[in-house]
Structures are given as structure tokens and as C-alpha cells.
Structure 1
Amino acid sequence: MRTVTVVGASLAGLYAARALRSQGFEGRLVIVGDEHHRPYDRPPLSKDFLKGETGQDHLALADAEEIAELDAEWVLGTRATGLADEGRSVLLAGGRSLDTDGAVIATGATPRRLPGPELSGVHTLRTLDDAQALRADLAGGPVRVVVIGGGFIGAEVASSCAALGHDVTIVEAAPLPLLPQLGEEMAEICATLHGDHGVTLATGTGVATLRGGPAGRVTGVELADGRLLPADTVVVGIGVRPNTDWLADSGLALADGVVTDAGCVTALPHVVAVGDVARVDGSRTEHWTSATEQAAVAAHNLLAGATLKAHRPVPYFWSDQYGVRIQFAGRRLPTDTVRILEGSPDDRTFLAAYERAGRTTAVLALNRPRPFMKQRRELMRATQPVAS
């Protein structure tokens, strides 16, 4: 394999490039990205960067020395438009193509948008450019912010906006934010963080439409239950869809992502997929840790030309809201029971275990990072296959 092309220049793509080099690939390495920026860290965009506590120069995932050591050709500000010749050619916007022996698909995901007219003051938050636009919109002083969607991005944006002194309302279609991830009991506890910091929750209802003024700027959010929320700025955080449109004619299996086996390998052994765009062994996971762990497995299998390693992690995510770090690991079912191991929900600091038939299936912590990581390691050990 003389040339490998990584399509996607964000977290998963960078980690795949690192893994290829560390595992001995010495050939031509090309990294294609539709943004003009080199890989940067996205989690701070909704937190410290949005609040103005950190700048763009602190977001870089690789410094100049590492960029040089990767010895890669960077094709930035260029969108991939197709994968042809059974994965041996990457087509680019403008008619250019790249011949390649192997490909890593790491094109991530795109925020879902609300239908309706384009209005200024309405934002999504995925890229650095998105964050810069939202930060500029909030810089003029206290405004009325409506966040649509109470998931991780929505909750973190609400937390940052509240810290900046804005009047914030979260609209969540489910009865509680994070209900599918945490279950009712724990989701209710986490939802109290919003009220603790003066953020209003409007749950159990969706959005009917956005209202705009004569200047084409958003003025309000009309809810499905008939309420009208005045708004100067709206942030839409209703999930993402994987960036697979460019692969429509590639011959790869696409189903809510690029379908791969447990080793991140597609039906073409010289094409692998990692990160938010990858549906690995029937599951697509939109979290930082998954992207970094998948990259090493995918690189190994790509260089081997076959699936020799599998990625079967214990799911893990974290979120920082209102000065509280929420951490979760494991696989819970709705029938699992929850037990507080230490701390108190009333103090907004505790460690809890989800249990099934006397066995811990998942753990949740608020501001208990050290005991949480111990419990997470135990979960990981319990799920490792026993050597024969």
C-alpha cells in the first residue's frame, strides 16, 4: 500500500493518520478536509471558546512539530464528492481526483436543521466557524436565547449562555433532557442543573416554526403547543446526520452511516470508516472517545488488508454543564435499577450505578471523576473476552 487517503480532517481523521504512521505506514499520506482549518478540538466550542475564555490558538489538536512529523499532504478547504473505482479514487470538488490504495472515511456528521426560511440569528454549532458566528452574535450584551434541543450540545450552549448573563430557555421534545441516555430518575436529577442556574426548561413539546421580523432576523420560536417564546438568538441542537451523501454512488453500504464490521472495515477491505460517520458493527456513536479508539483499530486492519482487530468498547461520554462534569459509561436498559454509591444528588455531586440481576451495567457521576474512572475500568475489565 503506497498511498492512503484520509477523507476528513477532524478528530477521527487526525487520529487515523497518527495511527497509520505509528503502525509503520511510510508511504504517501493525504488528508482531505472541507474546512480550511487544521484539526481542532470541538468540545470547547460550546464551552470555554463560546464564553471567550479560550482562543482559536488553544484548540489545535496537533502542533507544528507533529504536523511536520506526520509528513502528510493536506488538502484543506476542499470537499470530497465521491469515491470511485471501488475505492481506489477519491473525487474532489472542482473535478480533481486522487488515486489511492487505501481510504479512511472520517467525514463526520452535519447538524440537522429546522425546515423553514433562513433567518439571521439562528445558529447550529458544529464547526469553529459556527462557534465564531454564535460568539459574535452574543457579544452585544444580554439577549434572549432559545436553545432547541436539550442534548449535550444544547445543554452546554445553554450553560455557557447563562454564564454570559443571557436569558436562556431550552426547548426539549422529550419529557426530560437526556432521558434516553440516563433514564428517568437520573435525567430528572441532571435536569435540575438548568433550574439551579436560572435556565427555563420547556419540555414535552416541539417547535412549530420560527418567527422572523421584517429585517429577516429571528424574533421568536412558536412551539407545537401554541406558546410563543421571544428570541433574539436561536441555537438549534436537534442532533446530526452522518456525512454520507458524497458516497451515494460508491457501492458502500450506507444506513445511518457507513456500514462496517467490528473492525471498522467496509465491504471493501482497503476502505475503512471511523468517527461520527461510521456505523461500526451495527452502532454509530457520536462521542470523542469512540472516534479516537476506532482510529487505531481501523488503521491496523487497513494495513493488514483484513479484519484482525475489533472495536468493542464500553460506551463512554462526558458533558460539562454549569461547572458540573457529567460522566457516563456502560450499557443500560430501561429496566435497570439505579443505586447511589457515594455522594448526594441534592449536592449535585454523586456516583451512581445501574444494576441488572446483581451486576453493574453502567455508571454515572456528577463531579466525581476519580471514583467514576475506577468504576469505568472495572466495567471495561468485566467486558473483556477471557483468553483461552
Structure 2
Amino acid sequence: MTPAARVQAAIELLDEIIEAARSGGAAADTLIARYFKTRRYAGSKDRRAVRELVYRAIRRSGERPALGRAAMLGLAQEDEALIALFDGAPHGPAPFEAGEAIADASVVPAWLRDRFDPLVDEAEFPALLERAPLDLRVNRLKAFVDEVRAELPESVPTPLSPLGLRLPEGFAAEDHPLWHSGAVEVQDEGSQLLSQAAAAKRGMLVVDLCAGAGGKTLALAAEMANEGRIVASDADRSRLSRMQPRLERAGVTIVEQRLLNPMRELEALADIRGKADVVLVDAPCSGTGTWRRNPETRWRLTPERLSRLVNLQAHLLDVAAELMKPGGTLVYAVCSLLAEEGFGQAEVFGRRRSALVSEALDISGGRASGSGRLLTPAHDGTDGFFVARWKASC
């Protein structure tokens, strides 16, 4: 592909990504993979160059552009070599015309700027879109950290998680024998800390209420030394179905998976109501803490969707409270940096369930935010998370 053809390919992909963001379609990574699956003529260098252009344009545009060409022209205004490729060459983009729409540069959509936790000020915004590091969690059921480090000399310990190792960009973790053996899992350091916040122990009954594909379930099982019982539940059948191969690879045998009906979760969990030692609610959220990995999610979020997410979080917290036994622990986490999903949600829940006692979190990093703690890319080098914990009276 010529350089101009790469730019045109990026524009076409951006059009698809913008439409998917508007309609709730597939994620950018999925669309990029599909695009090149039908274009075998594009070599690895072409694919890498186009992908880089696409993500540079996405990161630059906090507001969803109307067209992929507007997003790419916005990027080209800052790059003389790139704007020169808008020359009408075969397979390349048409020349730029005066008055044509150009996407403005911004990190945060305007309607969201005042909804962030006060700890996340303007100075922290650029870090929300920096490239995320590649972190591994060592699976203590199969390996020790020092053993894994010896096999990964390019790795360094993560600053906050005692089980984490950080690798250089481009490291193919899932091609390594350590991954295939289950000795390591790809998991951001922030997520590792959230699993530790649950303080799950051997022999406990633990509920991972929004388990998804099981990243935190695996970490909880390792903390429990694979002794006890974990009920891993989710309302998304597709995500839950991806858990079993991960459990087998990690050597985890104490997990029972349950598919939930939205808004009727307690029906499927009736047998453990009032019996759980620990309930983890890693709730669906805006994802503002993970823009480093999925910058196009800024284009998917709307005030209406955010309102629905906040209501769902409140509902799931109430479900979790019903599952706790006397003396049990509830941990609430969201990969969000917005006040209404973080300390605001925790504050309202604490008033609604006044019999629960807020507990301090014994995790490294983060800053106090209401009754919980907030980790941010700028302050902690992790994805952004809010986490809070409560104890039920005995």
C-alpha cells in the first residue's frame, strides 16, 4: 500500500468505528481485524501503519466526529507529511477543500468535563489517553514471582501489586509458554489490586457478581489457594462462556458459573442469599478509567447511557447486599473516574444500607475519595478505578 492508500484505509476504518460507536456495534479492534481479513494485499507493515493512524486520530478527538475524514483531517492539521497525502492520488484521499469539516482536538467530551472525580483535574486528562503498559499477574497456584521474572528478564515488578510484572510494549504475552501453562495472566495492575481488596481467604464462599470472562475470578481463586467456593455470575452469556478455558489453564477448580437474568439476579442466586463471605461487584460502568486501552469508548457514552449505568450499579449493589452473610464483606469497583459512579454511588448506597459499615482498604496506591479510593493513570500508572468496601454487622 502507498502512504496515501494507508491514509484512505484509515479513513474508511474510522467511518466504520464512528458508526459502530453511534449504533452500539463492534469495538475498534474487532472492526480493524475484520477490515484486513478481507484485504489480503495489505502486509504487516501496512496493517501496523493503518492501525497507528486510526488510533492517533481516535485519541485526538474527544468528541465523536461526523466522519472518518474529519477525524483524519484533524490529525493531518498537525502533521505536514500527512496533509501532503491528501492529494487525490489513486487509492488515496481526495484533496482538502476550504471549509471542509475538521475534528477538533480534545481529550474529554465537553459534557463530561465537570463530572469527573475532583481528584482528576485538567492536569490529569492527558494521561487518560497515554498508551497503557502490559502487565501480567503471576498465578500463585502455579508459580512464584521470582521464578517468572527469571524466565522474563525483560520484565520489571509493578510498583503497587506484589504479583505484577510489567513488560515492554509489543511483548506477545499470549504466545509465551508461561501464559499457556497458566503461570501468568494478562491483567492491569489496578485490577490486581481490586482482587486483593476483597481479602478472600481459603475456605470462603465468594461471589463475583459481574464476573465477565473471569479475570478477577481467577485472581480471587489464587488468593484462596483454590480452596473454598466461588460463584462467578454474569448476565452476558458470551463473556461468561470465555471463562472455562481460562479456569482450566490456571488450574482453578473451585468456580461455579451462573448466568443471570438482568434485574432478576437473586432468582439464580437464591441458594446463597445471606451466606456469602465476600461479594465483589465489579460493575458495568462508563469505562472512563480505561480510555488508554479503548479510546473510542468516549464516542459511545451519552448522558442517557451513563444514567442507565448508574441505575444498574445501584441495583447490583442492592443485590450484593442481599447475598452477604452477617460479618461478610462487600467490595464495589468500577473502572470509572466519574464522581457519580464512584464516591457518589458509594455515598448513596451507604445511606440506603446504613447497617453496613464502611471499611478502610488495605491496598497500595490510590487516593481517598469519599468512603473509597481512586486509582488513576496519572497518579498510579494503572487504569482508572474507584473501589470501596463495606462490612455487614454480625
Q: TM-score with structure 1 length normalisation?
A: 0.27
Larger strand percent:
1
TM-score (norm 2): 0.26
**Which is helix-richer, 1 or 2?**
2
